[in-house]
């Protein structure tokens, strides 16, 4: 190993006392919050929606926390460090979905629904088929995203601390179950808020330390990157050599955000539509600021740590930010940032699991099995069972997929969210003529097409299955699967009218627009 290592002493890969201390502090604090939240969580509304008592500002931070996964922090910083400008395409793409959520989704979602986005789709339509289809879309999105996070957690912590892979996966799974089972949405929200503050604070500190090296002049940083890696570092390159692929990726990033169940669910934790609206503004501000930071961190890592060193530790670049932290702040800062990365994964996984559990319990169990009527206690009990089941599944798949390239899975989750969840949600809010059959057709075609096409795409067919040529040429299927999902929803709705749903559309305008009668 020493032979190809450019002279660089590092604490990465060893147990780091500072990291362990920060990490224990985080776990103790969050378990304390869980204990506090458990005493305040009794009803289904508490469990799913934190009693709807979260403020717009708090929810903005929690949304940002849910959204800024370790993949986006370590992954984007790494991508910028290794590929330069290409990484910025992701930074920008991950943010632009937020205004769309505000303009089209947030307020009607809050006014029409109770706990899940299926509430909104099912509002005017026939309950059982919509609940079943929407739960399928939600669970599929959540499970893929969850597995990607678990594999990320295992890989990251064996890399960072030399910890056995399966320990990290089991540890994340067990802690996450504890938060969700006992503390419900209230604990999950506060874990999310703490993590968001730590992550934004850590990234800010890292950027300040970078800028100190360049006398607070970003132009010097850019010039240094150009001197070292040449002009191509500052120009778009191979990531988007095919324009249609670039558009497809853009669609998935933009509209996938507006179809992620764990994000949508957050809008039910605030008291009303105006708080929902404000929370998007805060979230957009925090996330935008954070992505500008990751971009700077990527440049800093390329210049101060160097691409060779970064690649040496992880070919995908995930170690760029931790390495940079060590260069700038020594072992202590590395430890702090590693603990923050762990907290990040833990928080995101908890949010995902809660969203999956509510799709299972609120949509499938109450909506389909119990035909819309169920005792609240039963519903919460089933949600907790589903939490355990999802936790065990996540741990199992996490261990099963050890060493697999799962980078495509986050992309897949966004493609499914954009193709299966978003079109049905948007059409049900905007379009009077949307029917039950249309919604089911839209969701199912979105789920099936996006997953089949991604299987046949270069990302899985060539890179994972090692076949020579991909059957489907694009790396991201969203441009086709999302268009097909909209087309299916519209065409099937036009085939046969549903007068009852059309009538309700007019009648429920007071609720959609003014929140009158909203839960």
Partner 1 sequence: MSPSSEHRRILDDPEFRSLVLTRDRLSTALTVVMLAVYFGFIALVAWGRGVIGADIGGGFTAGVPIGIGVILFSIILTALYVRWANVRYDALVDRVRRDLGEGHGS
Instruction: Give the interface segment with partner 1, choosing from 61-69, 84-92, 169-177, 329-337 (CB under 8 A).
Output: 84-92
167 part of the interface to partner 1, by CB under 8 A? no
Q: Are 118 and 359 in contact (CB under 8 A)?
A: yes
384 part of the interface to partner 1, by CB under 8 A? no
Site string for partner 1, 214-253 (x = CB under 8 A): ---xxxx-xx--x----x--xxx---x--x--xx--x---
Instruction: Give the interface segment with partner 1, choosing from 85-93, 185-193, 406-414, 431-439 (CB under 8 A).
Output: 85-93
Residue (208 or 510) nearer to partner 1, CB:
510
Q: Which of residues 47-66 bind partner 1 (CB under 8 A)?
A: 52
Residue (502 or 519) nearer to partner 1, CB:
519
* Cβ-proximal residues to 338 (8 Å cutoff; 6+ apart), any chain: 16, 19, 23, 160, 161, 322
67 part of the interface to partner 1, by CB under 8 A? no
* Angstrom distances, CA of residue 173 to CA of 85, 353, 403: 35, 10, 18
DSSP designation for 240 = G
Backbone φ and ψ for 404, nearest 5 degrees, come out as: -80, 150
* Cβ-proximal residues to 487 (8 Å cutoff; 6+ apart), any chain: none
Residue (175 or 258) nearer to partner 1, CB:
258
274 part of the interface to partner 1, by CB under 8 A? yes
Q: How far is the CB of 487 from partner 1 (least distance, A)?
A: 19
d(CA 292, CA 251): 21
Read off the tokens for 315.
């070919």
* Angstrom distances, CA of residue 217 to CA of 192, 222, 299, 302: 33, 9, 13, 17
494 part of the interface to partner 1, by CB under 8 A? no
471 part of the interface to partner 1, by CB under 8 A? no
Q: How far is the CB of 283 from partner 1 (least distance, A)?
A: 9
510 part of the interface to partner 1, by CB under 8 A? yes
Q: Are 365 and 47 in contact (CB under 8 A)?
A: no
Q: How far is the CB of 217 from partner 1 (least distance, A)?
A: 8
* Cβ-proximal residues to 330 (8 Å cutoff; 6+ apart), any chain: none
d(CA 2, CA 411): 35
User: Up-side HSE of residue 146: CA atoms within 13 Å toward CB?
Assistant: 32
**229: exposed, middle or buried (C-beta count within 10 Å: 0-12, 13-18, 19+)?**
middle
* Residue 424 DSSP SS3: helix
Q: How far is the CB of 128 from partner 1 (least distance, A)?
A: 21
Q: How far is the CB of 401 from partner 1 (least distance, A)?
A: 31
d(CA 109, CA 270): 12
Q: How far is the CB of 369 from partner 1 (least distance, A)?
A: 25
365 part of the interface to partner 1, by CB under 8 A? no
Q: Which of residues 292-351 bind partner 1 (CB under 8 A)?
A: 292, 295
Interacting residue with partner 1 among 29, 92, 205, 487 (CB under 8 A): 92
The residues that touch partner 1, with contacts defined as CB under 8 A, are 52, 85, 88-89, 91-93, 95-96, 98-100, 102-104, 217-220, 222-223, 226, 231, 234-236, 240, 243, 246-247, 250, 254, 271-272, 274, 277-278, 280-281, 284-285, 288, 291-292, 295, 506-507, 509-510, 513-519
């Amino acid at each position: 190993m020493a032979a190809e290592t450019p002279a660089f002493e590092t604490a990465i890969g060893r147990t780091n006392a500072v990291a362990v201390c920060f990490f224990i502090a985080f776990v103790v604090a969050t378990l304390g919050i869980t204990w506090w939240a458990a005493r305040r969580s009794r009803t289904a509304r508490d469990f799913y929606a934190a009693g709807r008592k979260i403020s717009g500002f708090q929810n903005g931070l929690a949304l940002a926390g849910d959204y800024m996964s370790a993949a986006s922090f370590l992954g984007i910083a790494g991508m910028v460090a290794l590929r330069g400008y290409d990484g910025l395409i992701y930074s920008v793409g991950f943010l632009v979905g937020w205004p769309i959520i505000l303009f089209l989704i947030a307020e009607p979602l809050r006014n029409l629904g109770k706990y899940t986005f299926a509430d909104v789709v099912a509002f005017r339509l026939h309950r059982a088929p919509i609940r079943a289809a929407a739960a399928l879309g939600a669970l599929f999105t959540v499970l893929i995203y969850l597995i990607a996070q678990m594999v990320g957690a295992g890989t990251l912590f064996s890399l960072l601390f030399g910890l056995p892979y399966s320990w990290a996966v089991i540890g994340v799974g067990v802690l996450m179950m504890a938060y969700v089972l006992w503390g419900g949405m209230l604990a999950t929200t506060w874990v999310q808020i703490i993590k968001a503050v730590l992550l934004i604070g850590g990234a800010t500190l890292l950027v300040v330390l970078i800028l100190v090296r360049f006398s607070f002049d970003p132009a010097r940083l850019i010039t240094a990157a150009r001197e070292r890696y040449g002009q191509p570092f500052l120009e778009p390159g191979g990531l988007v050599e095919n324009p249609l692929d670039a558009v497809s990726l853009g669609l998935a990033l933009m509209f996938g955000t507006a179809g992620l169940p764990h994000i949508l669910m957050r809008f039910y934790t605030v008291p009303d539509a105006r708080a929902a609206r404000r929370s998007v503004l805060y979230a957009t501000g925090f996330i935008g600021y954070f992505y500008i930071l990751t971009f700077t961190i990527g440049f800093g890592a390329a210049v101060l740590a160097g691409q060779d060193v970064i690649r040496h530790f992880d070919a995908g670049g995930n170690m760029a930010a931790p390495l940079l932290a060590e260069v700038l702040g020594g072992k202590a800062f590395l430890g702090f940032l590693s603990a923050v990365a762990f907290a990040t994964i833990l928080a995101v996984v908890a949010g995902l699991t809660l969203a999956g559990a509510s799709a299972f319990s609120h949509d499938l169990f109450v909506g389909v099995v119990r035909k819309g009527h169920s005792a609240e206690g039963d519903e919460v009990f089933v949600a907790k069972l589903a939490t355990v089941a999802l936790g065990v599944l996540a741990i199992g798949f996490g261990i099963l997929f050890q060493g697999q390239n799962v980078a495509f899975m986050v992309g897949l989750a966004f493609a499914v969210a954009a193709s299966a969840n978003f079109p049905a949600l948007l059409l049900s809010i905007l379009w009077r003529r949307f029917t039950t059959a249309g919604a089911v057709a839209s969701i199912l075609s979105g789920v099936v097409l996006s997953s089949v096409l991604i299987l046949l795409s270069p990302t899985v067919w060539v890179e994972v299955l090692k076949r020579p040529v991909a059957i489907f040429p694009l790396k991201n299927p969203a441009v086709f699967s999302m268009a097909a999902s909209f087309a299916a929803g519209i065409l099937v709705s036009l085939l046969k009218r549903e007068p009852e749903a059309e009538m309700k559309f007019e009648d429920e305008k007071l609720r959609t627009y003014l929140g009158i009668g909203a839960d």
